[in-house]
A and B are shown apart, each in its own frame.
Chain A
Amino acid sequence: MSLLAEMNEKAHALGIPLSVHIDVTYRCNERCVHCYLDHDDKGEMTTQEIKNVLDQLAEAGVFFLVFSGGEVFMRRDFLELVEYARKLLFNVKVKTNGVMIHEAEAKRLRELGVEQLQLSVYSHRPEVHDAITKLPGSLKRTVNSIKFLKSQGLKVTLSNVLMTVNRQDERGTRALAKQLGVDYTLDPTVTPKMDGDISILRLRVDEENLDELFQDDELVGNVEEYCKPPAPVDEDVMEGYSCSAGHTACYISPYGDVFPCVQFPLPTGNIRRQKFTDIWYDSPQMNEVRSIKVKDLTVCSSCTHAGSCTRCPGLAYMEGSMRGPSTSDCMKSYHRTGIPSANMLRKAAMTSSGPLVQILPMLV
């Protein structure tokens, strides 16, 4: 076990929030077609309020801090917040579209000791990327920003979201990352909007695209290992948890709302009215999330994939129940291994069976 994994286990056992993702704004200079956010400012935390949150997070034991948005550089005080976070010795990662990062910003981020920057790029072709961001010239600006950051020796990851509108460019985007000398991540997850609007789910790629991804050793490493059938489910699996949400990680919105994860819109408290540790340790919602073991899951506890599935409890929550299945993860498990999930079998049985009551004509 790596040292980092050991620390995660220790934090889990002690109930320490090792990682926090904080969105400092929902405002953005891009209008990406797949974005789930409402970009209006509904009363963001002030500089001082965020500094106070950071003090509380440091005191609570948070080590990994992700600054994201919206676009973080829409806040004029963003570098001041990073400086404050680094003085508190957080490991800082920044998610940005990069279009406002020039040489001076890149230099400052390096001076402040930011660990890593993740920049969103959806295509190597401006006509595709700019159509997704709805900001003309955005690909050129983001690529320039990556070059500025790389020239400062900063670690950069190019982050792509696979959608119907850019799937044909995936290999080209990956090649662009290689050409720029940066890491590359690809996520096929498109989530409903915060207001519940599910219209953007039409951007999700077809299932056959998942098959292609999971057979690509550049993306998944050892394909045979990655796609192998799941190991038998044992007691350790049943006593385990889905993910770190609410256990060693949580999310804070620009308005101070605290959630188990950025992808888990269950409100657990507000840091403007409560102390962070009061929410983390005492919120009934947070305690409910962390009480759920695999054996408590309504469908997934009987699934052959229970020990290896990437089941997201936040997506399950958005589907109707935090104890229920997350269908998009069921599909990933199926396309990875070729073995249908319990949820898929259940749905198939429900649609293929005859009516519950049959009325037959009386034969005389």
Chain B
Amino acid sequence: MAETYIAKSTAIAARMLGGEMMIMSAVDSTFFTLNEVATVIWQAADGHTPLSKIVERNICEEFEIEPDVAQRDAEEFVNELSQHGILKVSDHPIADSRTGAQ
């Protein structure tokens, strides 16, 4: 199965606020807040770590979630954010991704 690589879009604003990530699309001004698990995926979206690795390393171990469930939820989350242009998704590593919000 092909790997999925994710990177943060450049057309967003983002900041941590009390443990939640606030994200606003500069394209359509849609505003999101991510919960703790989604924030971990977002922060790990460096363009070159496969999503499966992020789920295994950052989600299953940290939050004690079953791998199948975690992978399915992560894919849904990634799809939703990519539809709003918040995340870039590819089956190849993505170059020039940002280093993430402060």
* Distance in angstroms between the alpha carbons of A89 and B14 in the assembled complex: 5
CB neighbours of A113 from chain B (8 A): 10-13, 26
Q: Which of A58-109 contact B (CB under 8 A)?
A: 58-59, 61-63, 86-92
Interface secondary structure of B, over-half rule:
strand
Q: Contacts A4-B31, A89-B101, A89-B102 known; A11 to B24 CB distance under 8 Å?
A: no
Across the two chains, which residue of chain B brings its CB closest to A113?
Answer: B26
Interchain CB contact under 8 A, A7 and B22: yes
Residue tally, chain B, CB below 8 Å to A = 20
Q: Cα distance A113–B23 when bound, in Å?
A: 13
Query: From B30, which residue of chain A is reached at the shortest CB distance?
Result: A3
Structural contact, B15 and A62, CB atoms closer than 8 A: yes
Does A10 interact with chain B (Cβ within 8 Å)?
A: yes
Verify if A143 is at the interface (C-beta below 8 Å from B). Answer: no
B12 touches A10 (CB 8 A): no
Does B29 count as interface, using CB distance less than 8 angstroms? yes
Max chain B Cβ within 10 angstroms of own Cβ: one of A88, A89, A114: A89
Is A348 close to B, CB under 8 A? no
Tally chain A residues at the interface, Cβ within 8 Å: 25
Please state if B14 and A7 are interface contacts (CB–CB under 8 Å): no
Mask, B1-42, CB within 8 Å of A = 1, is 000000000111111111000101010010111000000000
Q: What's the least CB distance linking A9 to chain B, in Å?
A: 11
Evaluate contact between A91 and B24: CB separation under 8 angstroms.
yes
Contact B13 A91 (CB under 8 A): yes
Q: Determine if A61 and B16 form an interchain contact, defined as CB atoms under 8 angstroms apart.
A: yes
Cβ-defined contact, B13 with A115, below 8 A? yes
- How many angstroms between the C-alpha atoms of A77 and B17 in the bound complex? 30
Which residues from chain B contact A357 at a C-beta distance below 8 Å? Answer: none
A61 in contact with B26 given A3-B31, A88-B102 (CB within 8 Å): no
**Lowest 7 A-B CB distances belong to which pairs?**
A91-B13, A113-B26, A58-B102, A63-B15, A89-B14, A113-B11, A89-B101
| Interface of A toward B, CB cutoff 8 Å | 3-4, 6-7, 10-11, 14, 16, 18, 58-59, 61-63, 86-92, 113-115, 155
